[in-house]
Structures are given as structure tokens and as C-alpha cells.
Amino acid sequence: MRAATRVRVADGVSRIDTAADGAAEGPAVLLLHGIGGNARSCGPLAEALAGHGRRVLAWDAPGYGESAEPLGPVDYPARVVQVLDELGLAQVDLFGTSWGGVIATEVAARWPERVRSLLLADSTRGSATDPGKAAAMRARPAQLAELGAEQFAADRSPRLVAPDCDPAVSAAVRDEMARVRVPGYRAAAEFMAGTDTSDLLPRLTVPTLVLVGEHDEVTGAPESRLLAERIPGASFALIRDAGHAALVERPAEVAAALVEFWAVL
């Protein structure tokens, strides 16, 4: 990533900044990773956006990457705003993939003045939309603890990518998931299991783009289309030849969709 630096902010939450030299144009973009990722998972997209002249920030959520472990339940949307305050950013373009998109949706609903645009990739309303999904989500941390991170990642990561995904990209997705730690994953899973943003969607006022990988088998294109239909004025884009990890598999295509969307704001 261009001119990348890592800084620890907001109670130990770590972030990566691709334009610390101040050469970027326009509002900063903040990338929120998925439940099996970290800031480095957003690296390919951050690099692609930096190539378009944007300053890009990618956070390590509490208990992920280089961030400190959470001591209990985490109000992730409030923590995102805390990070913005620490960085002196009044407003950002807020991108969230999967779990990160659920967090981003709540940020846009609670603090719309802090979000210039909302970008939801391969995301969902949360797991509380269905008792079975919530129970399955709450069971995942125990599976992680029992199997260990490497086996957990080996078992789950193949579902995150398209069938014909480049083996090197598939391996990178697996390797980043293998860095997941139980405390951070448990807090994230509990947040997901207790969240249903259905009632928030019609009240969102932030310009929104919903993207999804053509072969997403985790949250799926129907869920993303539902988000786009329920958020007033939202746009929708299908990322071809990508699965759930579209930002890693097709970063140039995702970046191009974002830049095209921003051009008409």
C-alpha cells in the first residue's frame, strides 16, 4: 500500500493509513473488515483506491490484528466514531464488508453527519434476523477455540471465494482468517447474533452503494439486493467472478465501482 503507516488509536484500536503523506484527494475512506479478517485483509482494496488518489484507512477492530483484546461487549459503531474523533476526521466514506457492513450501517444510522457515503460489500442485516442464524453465529467462537485458528480457517475459508479463485488469493484469505483470535471473534459473533438492522434500513439518509460478489455463498446476492431495495435511493453493483471476499478477489473492480459511485455524489 502506498505510503502506508500503522498507528494505534482509540483504546488500542489499530489502523492502517495509505496516505499519511497528505497527498490524497477527497474525503478519507475507512474500510471495516469482515469477521474473519483484519486491516490487512483490506490491503488490496486500499491499494487500489490509493491508486485513484484516495486516502484510505483500514481498522483492526478490537481483538483483531494488532488491536487490544476486548474486555467485554463492544459497541462497534461507537468505537468507529471514536476512531474518527481520534484521527480528527469529521466525515468519511465508510466501507464495510460482511460484518463490517453491519457496523457501518449502524454508524450511518446513528451518526449520519459523519458518513459522506455508505458502501456495503457482501453484507447483511445481521444474524438476529433468524434464531437459527443467531444460534449458529454464537456457536462459532467455541468451534474456533476447539479447532484452533489454522484448522478453523482451512475449514471455512474455501466458502469465501469464487470457485475459480486464484489459488494465491484463496491462500491469502485463509492465512488472514488463521490470524483470528477467540476474544475478538467472540465479541464480534455476539454483536452479529444480537443485531438486525431491518428497521434501520428505510431510515438511512446517507448515499449508499451495495456491492456483492457474483458467487457469494455466505451472505448471498439476495440479501444484498434486499439491502439495496430497502435503503432509500441505494445503488447496487454485482462484482463478477468474485465470492464473499470480493474486496480481496477483485479489488480493482470494487474500487472502480466505488469511484464511479462517488463521481455522481
Domains present along the chain, CATH in parentheses: 5-262 (3.40.50.1820)
**Confidence (pLDDT) at 86:** 86
Sign of CA pseudo-dihedral 235, 239, 242, 247: negative
Average pLDDT rounded to a whole number, residues 206-214: 98
Per DSSP bridges, beta strands 208-213 and 235-239 are parallel
Q: Closest Cα partner for 152 from 136, 172, 176, 135?
A: 176
**Confidence (pLDDT) at 66:** 86
**Which of 11-20, 116-125, 221-230 is predicted with the least confidence, judged by mean pLDDT?**
11-20
**φ/ψ (deg, to 5) at 165:** -60, 140
Show the cell assigned to 85: 474523533
The string of pLDDT tens digits covering residues 126-179 is 999 999 999 999 999 999 999 999 999 999 999 999 999 999 999 999 999 999
**φ/ψ (deg, to 5) at 20:** -65, -15
**Which of 84-88, 125-129, 141-145, 183-187 is predicted with the least confidence, judged by mean pLDDT?**
84-88
Average pLDDT rounded to a whole number, residues 206-221: 97
Averaged pLDDT of the chain: 92
**Confidence (pLDDT) at 8:** 58
Is pLDDT of 89 > 60? Answer: yes
**Which of 5-9, 100-104, 180-184 is predicted with the least confidence, judged by mean pLDDT?**
5-9
Contact yes or no for 32/92 (Cβ under 8 A): no
pTM to 2 decimal places: 0.94
* Residue percentage of the chain with pLDDT more than 70: 90
